[in-house]
Amino acid sequence: MKKKILYITRLNPYSLKSWSGVTFYILKYISKHYKVITVGPLSNRVRIFYILKRFLFFLFKIKFDIDKPIAVSKDFAKQIENKINNTDFDAILTSEASLVAFLNTNKPIFIYTDFVFSTYYSHYFSEKKIHKETIKDGNFCESTSLKKAKKIILTSTFAIDDAVKKYHIKKSFFHYLPFGASIDFIPKKKIIKKIILKKNRDICKLISIGVHWDRKGMDKAVKLVDYMNNSGQKAILYIVGAKPPKGYKISSNVILIDFLDKNNLNDRKILIDLMYSVHFNLLFSKSEAFGVVNVEASAFGLYTITNNIGGIGGAVANDVNGFMFKYDENISTISKYIIRIFGNKDLFIKKSFLSRKQYDDKLNWRIISQNLSTIIKNNL
């Protein structure tokens, strides 16, 4: 008989829009190994009382996080306890540590996420002033949850090392496990191989996907494609989802495409056709916890060119499914690297095949859920 897992989330676990689809796919695939009882979405009945406070501090350019007050975590715990009253289960799985900080249970807790609280704020908001209450309550709830957990599963060694350092938890309590692709339309390996072999290589086509122009480093991607063209290599960059600031001049080498909804059949077809036609995936993020888009690129046999920052190393392995350059690497070096691969047909095919192999071997939800299931099973 399958063991029972209580899967807790503040969001709707059945929605592809929850946490960019990660919540949905964790539930979908862990259900293949365990009988899963879901708890979520949860009510924001206490959280809403902090909205005015957030707005007031925003006026002074101070970030106040309405998800982090201790009162909010306590209320979430109470909601969970009410929902699971007299429910029989063997373990708890969640991606939101603060939900279990005050949860009254003797069942083993497994936390599977990308960044812990302290890492998230130091990485994404290092240049922003954070309200002291957010830092104090956030760290308290996170530390309490992490120390209650049987195992903490993070998507990068960067996140693990930082969590060990900041919360003084033994490294043996952590496991590294990446996320998979947040899409269902993954082509079979043989199809991808045929497409790679047939790709037209007259023009080097690049793609960069993301909503936030500045944080996703779209400006750097634009400079790169312009540099490549000025160097004699014809290249086109497709930017999907992000819009440039007002007054930003876009060259003819860049094609802007509006946000594509993966759940919309027409948008999905556009995205698939793009992934089939381009040669490289770019992601020059200034901050990134993991980068699921890099996993999706690997599924389509695209080699990723990115920055070595944050948790990107959980999704990209150097010289396997991409290459991580230092954050301030000059454009000419990156351009020469891409042109060298693109200009050598055998090397290009090798890199593309390797990228897809990395997806098949390590970055797909089937393999990931098996590993997650083993971690839970071995610690029950």
For 4-180+365-377, the fitting CATH number among 3.40.50.410, 3.40.50.2000, 3.20.19.10, 3.40.50.970 is 3.40.50.2000
Domains 4-180+365-377 and 189-362 alike in fold: yes
- pLDDT for residue 16: 85
Rounded Cα distance between 113 and 126, Å, is: 20
In 278-364, alpha helices (H): 292-299, 331-343, 345-362
Q: Are 160 and 143 in contact (CB under 8 A)?
A: no
Rounded Cα distance between 338 and 129, Å, is: 38
Q: What are phi and psi of 94, to 5 degrees?
A: -150, 160
- For 144-156, the pLDDT digits (tens) are 999 999 999 999 9
- Residue 334 in tokens: 């990156």
- CB-neighbour burial class of residue 148 (10 A; exposed 0-12, middle 13-18, buried 19+): middle
- pLDDT for residue 2: 87
Helix H, strand E, coil C: the string for 59-99 is HCCEECCCCCCHHHHHHHHHHHHHHCCCCCCCEEEECCHHH
Residues present in the chain in total: 380
DSSP strands (E only) in the chain: 4-8, 35-39, 62-63, 91-94, 109-113, 129-130, 151-154, 174-176, 204-209, 235-240, 254-257, 280-283, 303-307, 322-325
- pLDDT for residue 263: 81
Superfamily of domain 189-362: Glycogen Phosphorylase B; (3.40.50.2000)
The edge-to-edge listing of strands for the beta sheet with 204-209 is 254-257, 235-240, 204-209, 280-283, 303-307, 322-325
> Residue 380's CB: how many other CB atoms inside 10 A?
12
Map out the domains of the chain as residue ranges: 4-180+365-377, 189-362
Residue stretches of the chain with pLDDT short of 50? none
- pLDDT for residue 127: 82
